[in-house]
Structure 1
Amino acid sequence: MAVLDTIKAKPRRRSRSGLLLLLGPAFVAAIAYVDPGNVAANLTSGATYGYLLVWVLVAANVMAMLVQYQSAKLGVVTGKSLPEHLGQRYRTRTRRLYWAQAEIVAMATDLAEVVGGAIALHLLFSVPLPVGGLIVGIASMGLLSVQNRHGQRHFETVIIFLLVIITIGFLAGLVLSPPDPAGVAGGLIPRFEGTRSIVLAAGMLGATVMPHAIYLHSQLAKDRHPDARSTPAKLRRVIKATRIDVILALVLAGAVNIGMLLLAAATLGGVSGTDSIEGAHAAIVNSLGPVIGVVFAVGLLASGLASTSVGAYAGATIMNGLLKVRIPLQARRVASLIPAIILLSVGVDPTWALIVSQIVLSFGIPFALIPLLRLTASKEIMGEHRDGLPLRLAALVSVILIVALNALLLWLTFTGQA
Structure 2
Amino acid sequence: MTLNGWRRERGEASLSDVHRSIAVSTTGPSWRKALAFFGPGYLVAVGYMDPGNWATSLAGGSRFGYALLVVALLSNIMAVILQSLCARLGIATGRDLAQACRDAYPRALAWPLWFLAEIAICATDLAEVIGTAIGLNLLFGVPLEIGVVITALDVFLILYLQNKGFRWVEALVITLLGVIALCFLIQIIMAKPEWAALIRGFAPTTEIVTNPDMLYLALGIIGATVMPHNLYLHSGIVQTRDYGETLEEKRSAIRYATLDSTIALTFALAVNASILILAAASFHTTGHTNVEELNDAHNLLSPLLGSAIAPSLFAIALLCCGLNSTVTATMAGQIVMEGFLDIRLAPWLRRLITRVVAIVPAAAVTIAYGESGTAKLLILSQVVLSLQLPFAVIPLVIFTANRAKMGKLAAPRWLTILAAITAAIIVALNFKLIADFLMGN
TM-score of the two chains, using structure 2 as the length reference: 0.85
- Equivalent pair of 1:106/1:212 in contact (CA under 8 Å): yes
- Equivalent pair of 2:383/2:433 in contact (CA under 8 Å): no
Task: Name the amino acid aligned to 1:292.
Answer: A
- Report the CA distance between 1:256 and its aligned residue: 0.4
- Give the distance between the partners of 1:55 and 1:360, measured in 2 at CA: 26
Select which of 213, 234, 237 maps to 1:217. Answer: 234
- SS of the equivalent of 2:268 reads helix
- Report the CA distance between 1:130 and its aligned residue: 0.8
Q: Quote the residue 2:53 is aligned against.
A: 38
Deviates more, 1:124-133 or 1:141-150: 141-150
- Report the CA distance between 1:217 and its aligned residue: 0.4
- Give the distance between the partners of 2:289 and 2:67, measured in 1 at CA: 19
Q: Quote the residue 2:193 is aligned against.
A: 179
How many residues align? The count is 404
In 2 relative to 1, CA 130–33 (structure 1 residues): closer, same or farther, beyond 3 Å?
A: same
In 2 relative to 1, CA 345–113 (structure 1 residues): closer, same or farther, beyond 3 Å?
A: same
In 2 relative to 1, CA 49–199 (structure 1 residues): closer, same or farther, beyond 3 Å?
A: same
Match status 1:258 vs 2:273? yes
Alignment of 1:12-411 (within 5 A): 14-138=29-153, 140-180=154-194, 181-182=196-197, 184-186=199-201, 188-189=203-204, 191-192=208-209, 197=214, 200-222=217-239, 224-225=240-241, 227-269=242-284, 270-271=287-288, 274-288=291-305, 289-325=307-343, 328-346=350-368, 347=370, 348-411=372-435
- Equivalent pair of 1:146/1:154 in contact (CA under 8 Å): no
Task: Name the amino acid aligned to 2:234.
Answer: H
- Equivalent pair of 2:302/2:311 in contact (CA under 8 Å): yes
- Equivalent pair of 1:170/1:260 in contact (CA under 8 Å): yes
- Report the CA distance between 1:214 and its aligned residue: 0.6
Quote the RMSD (CA, aligned, Å). Answer: 2.3
- Give the distance between the partners of 1:84 and 1:136, measured in 2 at CA: 28
- Give the distance between the partners of 1:117 and 1:253, measured in 2 at CA: 18
- Give the distance between the partners of 2:117 and 2:435, measured in 1 at CA: 22
Q: Quote the residue 1:7 is aligned against.
A: none
- Report the CA distance between 1:186 and its aligned residue: 4.4
- Give the distance between the partners of 2:42 and 2:341, measured in 1 at CA: 27
Deviates more, 1:196-205 or 1:168-177: 196-205
- Give the distance between the partners of 1:336 and 1:25, measured in 2 at CA: 22
- Equivalent pair of 2:98/2:335 in contact (CA under 8 Å): yes
- Report the CA distance between 1:272 and its aligned residue: 7.0
List alignment gaps of at least 5 residues for structure 2. 1-25
- Equivalent pair of 1:37/1:354 in contact (CA under 8 Å): yes
- Give the distance between the partners of 1:202 and 1:325, measured in 2 at CA: 38
In 2 relative to 1, CA 128–245 (structure 1 residues): closer, same or farther, beyond 3 Å?
A: same
- Give the distance between the partners of 1:92 and 1:337, measured in 2 at CA: 26
In 2 relative to 1, CA 150–72 (structure 1 residues): closer, same or farther, beyond 3 Å?
A: same
- Give the distance between the partners of 2:202 and 2:31, measured in 1 at CA: 37
> Residue deviations 1:381-411, cap 9 Å, x none?
2222221122111111101111221233333
Task: Name the amino acid aligned to 1:205.
Answer: I
- Give the distance between the partners of 1:360 and 1:40, measured in 2 at CA: 16
> Residue deviations 1:361-390, cap 9 Å, x none?
233222211111111111222222221122
- Give the distance between the partners of 1:250 and 1:47, measured in 2 at CA: 24
- Equivalent pair of 2:386/2:431 in contact (CA under 8 Å): no
- Report the CA distance between 1:341 and its aligned residue: 2.5
In 2 relative to 1, CA 414–198 (structure 1 residues): closer, same or farther, beyond 3 Å?
A: farther
Kindly indicate which of the two structures has a greater share of residues assigned to helix: 1
In 2 relative to 1, CA 203–286 (structure 1 residues): closer, same or farther, beyond 3 Å?
A: same
- Give the distance between the partners of 1:337 and 1:202, measured in 2 at CA: 29
In 2 relative to 1, CA 183–175 (structure 1 residues): closer, same or farther, beyond 3 Å?
A: closer
- Report the CA distance between 1:56 and its aligned residue: 2.2
- Give the distance between the partners of 1:380 and 1:127, measured in 2 at CA: 54
- Equivalent pair of 1:105/1:212 in contact (CA under 8 Å): yes
Task: Name the amino acid aligned to 1:391.
Answer: L
- Give the distance between the partners of 1:28 and 1:113, measured in 2 at CA: 14
In 2 relative to 1, CA 360–171 (structure 1 residues): closer, same or farther, beyond 3 Å?
A: farther
Deviates more, 1:281-290 or 1:305-314: 281-290
- Report the CA distance between 1:99 and its aligned residue: 1.2
> Residue deviations 1:114-163, cap 9 Å, x none?
1001101111111111111111221x123311344123222111111111
- Equivalent pair of 1:30/1:249 in contact (CA under 8 Å): yes
List alignment gaps of at least 5 residues for structure 1. 1-10
- Report the CA distance between 1:68 and its aligned residue: 0.8
- Give the distance between the partners of 1:389 and 1:37, measured in 2 at CA: 33
Q: What's the % identity of the aligned pairs?
A: 35
> Residue deviations 1:245-273, cap 9 Å, x none?
01111010111011111111111123277
- Report the CA distance between 1:351 and its aligned residue: 2.7
